[in-house]
Chain A
Amino acid sequence: MTRQSFTERSFLAKNPSVLWFILILAVFTLGVTVLSEAYGVAFLSTSFVKTLGKTLCLCLVALAMDLIWGYAGILSLGHMAFFALGGYMLGMWLMYARTEEIVVAALAQGGLPATPEEVRQGIAVQIFGVVGASELPAIWAFAHSFWAQMALVVLVPGGLALVFGWLAFRSRVTGVYLSILTQAMTLALALYLFQNDSGLRGNNGLSGLQNLPGLSDASQDAVSMWFFWGSALALGLGYVLLSWVVSGKFGSVIRAIRDDEQRVRFLGYSVEGYKLFVFTLTAVIAAIAGALYYPQAGIINPAELAPIASIYLAVWVAIGGRGRLYGAVIGAAFVSLLSSWFTGGRAPSVPLGFYTVNWVDWWLVLLGLSFVLVTLFAPKGIGGLFDLWQGLRGPDRKGAPLGPDDGALMEKEARE
């Protein structure tokens, strides 16, 4: 008994949630496939399959948020910016390649074969006519190459996170100040992208992303399923990767940083290095999730980077349960699906006689209220139900403070 808890047992034996998660995800994916229009009995509409696929991407970004917030205690309000940047990077290739097809087809009708210069000019006018420009901005230099843009999906958000994180963590900005700083970064990025000369079509954003270049014959029914499978695969891999990251000594160290970073320094660990590592890793995961999300949404614009999006992300993770990976997934899936049900106008209004509660307006109030209630009365979130089920109890801290960082705050509050 004494030795068993930390002696050699396989990764899966130590992390039973991984097997369960993969099993449930596989059954879910299979179920949706069987019920889809493209490959099954057409019970689920293609738009609903897209909603489910997008939800899987949101679950993936919630996993990243849980690692940075739930485990490392850094409340980042910028991860949806990395998510959107990932979407923009892949969106550039989708839009460019798709427009290229259209332009080439149009020019072919003119009789003479089009020169590359004419094609390039045609693409520029097609994409940028809407913001009054006729030249491709320099940042579109690699837009013709799928692999280059795929690399940028990782490099641009990862690079931004690396530089921003290095500056912020090196100055030992922590807690709520760091949250404000990340939020400012998000807002600045959104405001920049809203400009017409930002090179990414201003507030029009990128559109038509649901059409895959070179596959114009494929129906959206099939494309939606491909992206659904891709999203499910990414979520499964992300879950295994992050479970592995948090399971070993690395996980111990980042949880220790959350609870008392000064003590971790005296153990000889460079706290700033660990924070930067986690910040960048989660930014890259968020970007990959975004690159899978926006082709399913079909459109991306700077409103996606609004700070509120990142706050929603924090709310999902808090409601699902911080500090456990499946909690983040449950929170993101549950709250985002419920949200689209309420705001989609399908929830029945509640007539009170003197006033009718219209859920499209009142959903946000309900969400805010649940967030406050969960924070105050169930800091472990929905994931805490699994503890009740297993009869586990947290350690009695006898009122000892958990540490100076805000990541530890809620458990402390819960005891008060």
Chain B
Amino acid sequence: MSALLEVSGVSVSFDGFRAINNLSFSIGPAELRAIIGPNGAGKTTFMDIVTGKTRPDSGAVTFGERSVSLLSMSEAQIARAGIGRKFQRPTVFEDQTVAENLTMALKAHRAPWRVLFWREGAVDRARVEALAAEVGLADALPRKSGELSHGQKQWLEIGMLLAQEPRLLLVDEPAAGMTLAEREHTTQLLVEMAKTRAVVVVEHDMDFVRRLDCKVTVLHEGAVLAEGSLDHVTKNQQVIEVYLGRG
């Protein structure tokens, strides 16, 4: 199985601080992967690099069968190429309805002129309704998303990601601030999504990672410390030191 995303030898420093240090990482086209690591391990910077927000000082990032380099693409181009990102804090457009949020995310032409003349057809409407149902917001379509609960906003954002039909999803701490029942639902969503596409979950919460039941990559000081099943990496002496030794 060839890799969908291939990050090789990437380094980036901010004002002399090496946030990412010769990091290499790859993920296949239909795989669920959890990235864990202590604060400052470079998890968010890693996502920034893949989504084009941060340019690395060195290294290569390639995507897709034709191994297109992402380094020369803008954030919007990378998103159109099929990489979706979910932020830690739910970022939906609170002043707009759930339906408007989902419609905006629907896979379609993104150029201003095309969007100006775009009008919702029956197919789009059905798609928006199906997505809303999938993330449990079928009854909330006409509501302003600012009125939703924290967990509902998270799901709306996941729904927006699904609407983009990305091939790779980067999800930053999806379970933060969720109730137990909401976590259960989120786990199901992520596992379901990873059946047809690559999903990378950055998470602090070991319990949540255990539920995902997938391969785990441990980051530390901007590089991969260990990789394998959760049981495998938690037995790793270095990982134990990093997590427990630093208190």
Contacts and interface: CB of A to CB of B under 8 A. Distances in A.
Given A249-B104, A265-B76, A260 B120 contact: no
B147 A395 contact: yes
B142 A5 contact: yes
Contact of A268 (B100, B110, B138, B142): B110
Contact of B94 (A268, A274, A395): A395
A237 interface: no
Interface of B: 51, 53, 74-76, 79-80, 84-85, 87, 91, 93-97, 99-100, 103-105, 110-113, 115-116, 118-120, 125, 128-129, 138-139, 141-142, 144-147, 160, 164
A273 B112 contact: yes
Interface stretch (A203-211, A251-259, A289-297): A251-259
Contacts of B118: 248-250
A400 interface: yes
A8 B121 CA distance: 8
Contacts of A394: 95, 146
Given A266-B84, A268-B164, A5 B97 contact: yes
Contacts of A248: 115-116, 118-119
B210 to A, nearest CB: 29
A43 interface: no
Nearest to A277: B112
Interface of A: 1-8, 245, 248-250, 252-253, 255-256, 259-260, 262-263, 265-271, 273-274, 277, 394-397, 400, 402
6 contacts: A252-B93, A252-B103, A255-B95, A256-B104, A271-B76, A277-B113
Contacts of A273: 111-112
A26 B105 CA distance: 39
Nearest to A11: B119
A269 B110 contact: yes
Contact of B142 (A4, A250, A256): A4
**Residue of A2, A259, A271 most packed against chain B (CB within 10 A):** A2
A256 B116 contact: no
Given A4-B142, A248-B119, A253-B115, A267 B94 contact: no
A234 B116 CA distance: 21
Given A395-B95, A395-B146, A270 B116 contact: no
Given A395-B95, A395-B147, A6 B76 contact: no
Contacts of B142: 1-2, 4-6
Query: What 9 A-B pairs have minimum CB-CB distances, sorted nearest first?
Result: A395-B146, A5-B142, A268-B79, A265-B75, A395-B144, A6-B99, A268-B80, A277-B112, A250-B116
A266 B75 contact: yes
Contacts of B104: 249, 252-253, 256, 267
Contacts of A4: 142
A252 B119 CA distance: 12
B98 to A, nearest CB: 9
B95 A270 contact: no
A3 B104 CA distance: 17
A2 B76 contact: no
